[in-house]
Amino acid sequence: MVDEQTGRVVDPEHKSRGYELSQAKYVANEDEELDALRLDSTHTSEIDDFVPVEEIDERYLDKPYYIVPNGKAGVDAFVVIRDAMKRKDKVAARVVLANREHVIALKPLGKGLLGTTLRYPYELRDEDDYFNDIPSPVYPRTWSNLLLISWTKRPRNSIRTNSRTNMRLR
């Protein structure tokens, strides 16, 4: 850690953890207090609810993990849950990973499950901040029909385009 004002490295004995109440006012936290707040990792999953796959907006998908049963004792329950989700086309769960609670979507994948951590709504940016400045020009409907026809006549492995659209990532 580096001191913002001096630019020098802070000695370990001068470091602490705390919460800022207001500008330059902090409440220090002791290691024992932080340990008491930690979640226990049980290597088990608590399934809160099952929801249809289409209810999960793809913008919330974060990191994928392969989920497998842990030992022979959990195989039967694992297979029953996996197969039920597959039949009903449902996903969902809440899991503790690495001493931290995450919202995770569990989805059948082959003989196992695909667990994808989900972002919280506050982590997403508002799409209007990016898309509002895009104009909505009026053009004849035949233009879009011609474009779709030209795309459908392309070879499937063709990725070239004749469009000279300038795009950028934000």
Top pLDDT among 49 and 42 is at 49
**Under a CB-based contact definition with an 8 Å cutoff, are residues 27 and 16 in contact?**
no
Q: Which fold has domain 45-123?
A: Ku70; Chain: A; Domain 2 (2.40.290)
How is the chain split into domains, by residue range?
A: 45-123
pTM score, whole prediction: 0.55
Calpha distance 131→125 (Å, rounded): 11
Closest to 96 measured CA to CA, from 138, 166, 48? 48
**Under a CB-based contact definition with an 8 Å cutoff, are residues 133 and 77 in contact?**
no
User: In DSSP terms, which residues pair with 91 in a beta bridge?
Assistant: 51
Kindly indicate the confidence band of residue 169, based on its pLDDT and cuts at 50, 70 and 90.
Answer: very low
Q: Say which residue the tokens 């901040």 belong to.
A: 129
Q: Say which residue the tokens 């449902």 belong to.
A: 90
Task: Give the least confident one: 16-20, 35-39, 43-47, 53-57.
Answer: 35-39
**pLDDT tens figures, 100-123:** 677 888 899 999 999 999 998 889
The neighbour count for residue 61, using CB atoms within 10 Å, is 13
